[in-house]
Structure 1
Amino acid sequence: MSAIAAQEPRLNDEITVRECRLIDFEGNQMGVFSTAQAKRIAEEAGYDLVEIAPNATPPVCRIMDYGKFKYDQAIKAKQARKNQSKIEIKEMKFRPKIDVGDYTTKKKHVLRFLEAGNKVKITIMFRGREMAHPDQGLSILERLADDLKDVAVIENAPKMEGRNMHMLIAPLPAAAKKKKDSKKDEGKDQQDA
């Protein structure tokens, strides 16, 4: 028996307990019945008898259309997977002697990544004699963190690794929530149209 099959509820003739608490199609409790009698009631109604709480005493069985139930469960699972947010880590590379215009452009890109809900790894690449002045790279990272303090938080502080200095920044939870809300609003607008 596979793991998936073990998770599925037993139905109709697979239910082996002597008696069960029965819930009708509308969700009302009908009381405790023998399993044979509960199966007969479900058959007369044209539905399946499904064991929904096997560990209860007595086990709880419900009269339902099992095919429709499985279909609805699949739709809910698909929707949950769709709504899961996948956080990506984007990377933006800087040089220690970056010009003001280049800095501004790269800062705009970082801001766009953060607004999209992604984390951003900022890398300062050192070459040759620039390695003697890591403080220049650190000042760029500090300046960027200061410029973005209202939309981002530093997740990993600046750290030197080989010829590169790295810092990881993440969007503030409020900014990420705002992004989700705007996506929901877009979905509503499309449904209304």
Structure 2
Amino acid sequence: MEKCTIARRRHIKPRENARNLPKINDRIRAKQVRLIDQDEKMLGVVDKQEGIRLAIEAGLDLVEVSPNSDPPVCRILDFGKYRYEQSKKERANRAKTKTVETKEVRLGRSMKIDPHDVQIRINQARKFLIEGHKVLIVQNFRGREMMHKDRGIIRMKEIIEQLDNVSKVETPPKFAGRRQTMVLGPDKLKIQSYLDSQAAAKEAEKTNADKEA
């Protein structure tokens, strides 16, 4: 008795009928294709129907992966798995190219801010820089404080020194009215070195604690 092979039908949801989805099986318009089989073997130029037949025999799909070639390049593969892998790559690429935000850190309403509060702001800025964001540092001046701009400059220099191990100065300190501002940007190499040193310090602390126990 002759064995009958039934082709699998792929149902694509309406919202998935986007131009960036590759054509598969009977949706491929070209009459001839350059075929690569499921084992990555190049089979050369074949009729589209022959490619579909080979895909059906393998329980897979004929997928057009390079439509602009002449003839278009098609591969025999599992279309569902292919879509999943492409989706993972797109998400990874979006994560790599995420938008860098500029976070604002204000050093109080005037120069009269407690040193402890200044340190809290510095720690906050460090967190933003490690996360990959730029940081806008803002120092406000009130009343006669404008007569002592040098104090603001000294404070900004101290902040630059404290954050030097994770940042670089993108916009040096400058005055605009009663505000002094500067922009620090994340330095990837410094940040990685900082994180490595922090991890090493924690490991050493844990080792010492185990020895004392």
TM-score (normalised: structure 2): 0.70
2:56 matched to which residue of 1? 43
The residue type paired with residue 103 of structure 2 is: K
2:25 matched to which residue of 1? 12
1:54 matched to which residue of 2? 67
The residue type paired with residue 49 of structure 1 is: L
Pairwise CA distance, 1:133:
3.0
1:186 matched to which residue of 2? none
The residue type paired with residue 173 of structure 1 is: K
Classify 1:132/1:61 alpha carbon distance in 2 versus 1 (closer, same or farther; 3 Å): same
1:73 matched to which residue of 2? 86
Deviations 1:134-188 (A, max 9, x none): 2321222123223433332111111222321111112322134457889xxxxxx
Unaligned runs of 5+ in 1: 183-193
Deviations 1:70-103 (A, max 9, x none): 1222233334445655544333323434555444
1:150 matched to which residue of 2? 165
Pairwise CA distance, 1:13:
1.4
Match of 2:154 among 136, 139, 158: 139
Indicate if the aligned counterparts of 1:117 and 1:175 stay in contact, CA closer than 8 A.
no
Indicate if the aligned counterparts of 1:117 and 1:179 stay in contact, CA closer than 8 A.
no
Aligned residues: 182
The residue type paired with residue 185 of structure 2 is: A
Pairwise CA distance, 1:9:
1.4
The residue type paired with residue 11 of structure 1 is: I
Where 1:73 maps in the other structure, the secondary structure is: helix
Give distance in 2, aligned partners of 1:104 and 1:43.
Answer: 67
1:168 matched to which residue of 2? 183
Classify 1:16/1:181 alpha carbon distance in 2 versus 1 (closer, same or farther; 3 Å): farther
Pairwise CA distance, 1:40:
1.9
Instruction: Report the structure number with the largest CA radius of gyration.
Output: 2
Classify 1:65/1:112 alpha carbon distance in 2 versus 1 (closer, same or farther; 3 Å): closer
Indicate if the aligned counterparts of 1:137 and 1:165 stay in contact, CA closer than 8 A.
yes
Give distance in 2, aligned partners of 1:112 and 1:47.
Answer: 49
Match of 1:128 among 143, 146, 164: 143
Where 1:167 maps in the other structure, the secondary structure is: strand
TM-score (normalised: structure 1): 0.76
Classify 1:117/1:181 alpha carbon distance in 2 versus 1 (closer, same or farther; 3 Å): farther
| Worse overlay, 55-64 or 69-78 | 69-78
| Worse overlay, 142-151 or 35-44 | 142-151
The answer on 1:30 being equivalent to 2:43 is yes
Indicate if the aligned counterparts of 1:115 and 1:175 stay in contact, CA closer than 8 A.
no
Residue identity (%): 38
Pairwise CA distance, 1:132:
3.2
